[in-house]
Structures are given as structure tokens and as C-alpha cells.
């Protein structure tokens, strides 16, 4: 592993010098989290391998390559290169244990591109950033994710203990794929003949076996996720509620999700003299809807169902008593 890491670092140093020009030993040491002395040894090894790297002494000095020296990779179009630069997500790559590989791949890609294409790809990277985590949330800490990813890649069966409510259940799974949804990782796996989705953060124990499984040839991860998530969303809404909403309340409905806000806008009746509107929205359950609608404060009144209206009124009285 040590020899591999050193070889990878040597290649990365070469590519960084090629793409960025002159760099100091201190800059390289900080990038690769090694000592300056280690960087000098690495430069000596590159020179011994006939890489024309030179040291400029004095202020503003550093290491640089002989003008005109380039490594070569071919086959990428300009559009493909730009797409790859916007596709690399450092956060998810780090969670998967691939942060170093992502940096190395981007360096190789940058070094391989013609000057014009390189400028376009770097322009994309400077202007677009993909952040997969929703507001007021941080990415879930999924400590077992790298091991799960390796099992997915190698088609190895896994045994898990999965937290479900107050207890943990055990499952033997054939891991088929990983999906990142709004900062949360999900494992798609086959348990017997059934394919299910498991939240990675709820996996509390993991054993990767040496036993390989035959991956279904017809399985399409994107298609499965699209169909199952759509079915989940449809099945989630089991009832409806009728609300009376102020203009500010209509805006606050965005906090409860796009489907709720869109349903309200589509069903909204003409506003009354004070600007309040009557609208119908989907709800998951009385308990969940009560927690959701309390976020709207005094900008919404629940008209139906009456059970929901009573639940919110009861919760409001309890809150007033506790905080009175």
C-alpha cells in the first residue's frame, strides 16, 4: 500500500506541475499532507526517472517542468471533459473513500486536455458546484459506506443489522447499488427475490462475506430508484386536508415540500377580502400533518378533517401551558 500511495503521489506531483506551472515544496507538502523533506525525495525520484523537473532558487522559486514537456492522454471531447468537471462531487467521493482518487482523476484529466479544452473545463468547475444536501442539514455520517461500496462493486454478499424503530433486524443481502438522495445514502439490495431500499445510516453492523452473487443482468439501478421513489411518494399521501391560508401561509407551505405547495396552488380558491385562500393539500397522517402544519403558525387555519383540527388545537394548548 505504501509503494502504491507513493507512486500515486509522484504521478500527481507530475500532473500538478504540468497543469499549474511552478509550485513550491511547501505547497506540494500541504496538498499531499506530507513533509517538505518527503517532497524533495519525490522530486529526486522524478528526476531519476528522466522527468525534466527543475528547481528555481530564490524568492518566487519552486519546482517546474521543462517547457514543452507533457504527458499525453487522448480520446475526450471538449463537451465530455466539461461534463466530467461538473460531475465530480467531493463530499460524496470522500464519504465513499474516493477523495484521493477524485483529485488524481481530475489532475490527470486537466493535464491531458489541450489548452483550449482545459480552459473551458476549468471555467465550468469555477462556475458550477453541485451541493446534494438540503438546507439546514448536514450530510449523514455513514461510517460503513466505504465497505458497502466495495461490496457493491465486487458483487459480494453482506450480512447487516438494520435499525428499525427501537430494534435491529438482521438481513443477508445482495447489494446492487448505492443512491445519494438529498445528502442521504441508500442501499438498493436484493433479499431473496425481493429488491428493497435500506438507509445506510440505519445499518449498525456489517459483515462482508467472501461469497459472490450473480448480479441480475436486467437490473437497472436508475429505473428501479425512479419507479420505487415515485411509488413511495404516491403511497405516502393517504388523506387530504382543507386549509385556510394567508398569503404568507401559502409561501410557508414550501417548507412542507413541493407536492404540498403545488397542490395548494392548484386548488386555491379566490382570496377573500383579507387575502386568505382556501386550499386542499395531501397529508400523510393526522399526527404527521399536525406537526407539519404547526410550522405555519397563525398563517393557517385547518378546516378539515376535524380530527386534525382538534389535534392541532390540543398541541397548541399544551405548548402554551409549557411555555406559559
Question: Is residue 130's pLDDT more than 60?
Answer: no
**Per-residue confidence (pLDDT) for residue 158, from 0 to 100:** 97
For the chain, give the mean pLDDT: 80
Last residue of a domain, one of 41, 65, 89: 65
Domain count, the chain: 4
Residue 71 lies in a domain: no
Residue 132 lies in a domain: no
| Confidence class for position 166, pLDDT limits 50, 70, 90 | confident
**Per-residue confidence (pLDDT) for residue 156, from 0 to 100:** 96
Question: Is residue 31's pLDDT more than 60?
Answer: yes
Residue 140 lies in a domain: no
Residue 262 lies in a domain: yes
Angle (CA) 223 227 230, round 5°: 140
**Per-residue confidence (pLDDT) for residue 170, from 0 to 100:** 94
Rounded mean pLDDT of 22-33?
87
Same domain, 245 and 314: yes
Owning domain of residue 36: 2-65
Q: 29, 16 in Cβ contact below 8 A?
A: no
Q: How many Cβ atoms are within 10 Å of 136's Cβ, its own excluded?
A: 5
Question: Is residue 87's pLDDT more than 70?
Answer: no
Residue 39 lies in a domain: yes
Q: 124, 164 in Cβ contact below 8 A?
A: no
Q: How many Cβ atoms are within 10 Å of 270's Cβ, its own excluded?
A: 6
The reply to whether the predicted model has a pTM over 0.95 is: no
* Range in 42-56, 90-104, 142-156, 233-247 with the lowest mean pLDDT: 90-104
Amino acid at each position: 500500500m505504501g509503494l502504491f500511495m507513493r507512486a500515486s503521489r509522484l504521478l500527481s506531483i507530475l500532473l500538478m506541475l504540468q497543469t499549474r506551472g511552478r509550485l513550491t515544496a511547501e505547497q506540494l507538502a500541504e496538498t499531499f499532507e506530507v513533509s517538505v523533506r518527503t517532497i524533495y525525495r519525490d522530486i529526486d525520484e522524478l528526476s531519476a526517472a528522466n522527468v525534466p523537473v527543475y528547481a528555481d532558487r530564490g524568492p518566487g522559486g519552486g519546482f517546474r517542468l521543462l517547457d514543452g514537456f507533457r504527458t499525453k492522454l487522448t480520446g475526450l471531447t471538449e463537451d465530455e471533459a466539461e461534463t466530467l468537471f461538473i460531475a465530480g462531487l467531493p463530499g460524496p467521493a470522500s464519504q465513499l473513500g474516493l477523495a484521493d482518487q477524485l483529485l488524481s482523476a481530475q489532475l490527470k484529466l486537466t493535464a491531458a486536455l489541450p489548452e483550449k479544452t482545459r480552459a473551458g473545463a476549468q471555467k465550468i468547475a469555477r462556475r458550477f458546484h453541485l451541493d446534494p444536501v438540503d438546507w439546514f442539514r448536514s450530510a449523514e455520517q455513514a461510517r460503513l459506506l466505504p465497505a458497502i461500496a466495495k461490496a457493491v462493486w465486487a458483487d459480494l454478499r453482506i450480512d447487516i443489522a438494520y435499525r428499525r424503530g427501537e430494534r435491529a433486524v438482521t438481513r443477508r443481502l445482495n447489494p446492487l447499488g448505492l443512491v445519494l438522495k438529498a445528502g442521504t445514502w441508500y442501499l438498493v439490495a436484493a433479499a431473496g427475490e425481493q429488491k428493497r431500499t435500506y438507509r445506510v445510516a440505519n445499518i449498525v453492523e456489517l459483515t462482508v462475506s467472501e461469497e459472490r452473487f450473480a448480479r441480475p443482468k436486467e437490473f437497472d439501478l436508475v429505473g428501479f430508484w425512479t419507479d420505487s421513489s415515485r411509488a413511495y411518494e404516491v403511497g405516502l399521501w393517504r388523506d387530504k386536508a382543507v386549509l385556510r391560508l394567508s398569503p404568507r401561509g401559502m409561501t410557508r407551505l414550501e417548507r412542507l415540500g413541493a407536492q404540498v405547495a403545488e397542490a395548494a396552488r392548484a386548488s386555491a380558491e379566490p382570496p377573500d377580502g383579507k387575502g386568505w385562500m382556501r386550499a386542499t393539500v395531501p397529508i400523510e397522517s393526522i399526527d404527521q400533518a399536525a406537526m407539519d402544519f404547526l410550522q405555519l403558525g397563525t398563517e393557517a387555519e385547518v378546516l378539515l378533517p376535524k380530527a386534525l383540527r382538534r389535534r392541532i388545537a390540543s398541541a397548541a394548548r399544551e405548548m402554551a401551558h409549557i411555555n406559559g
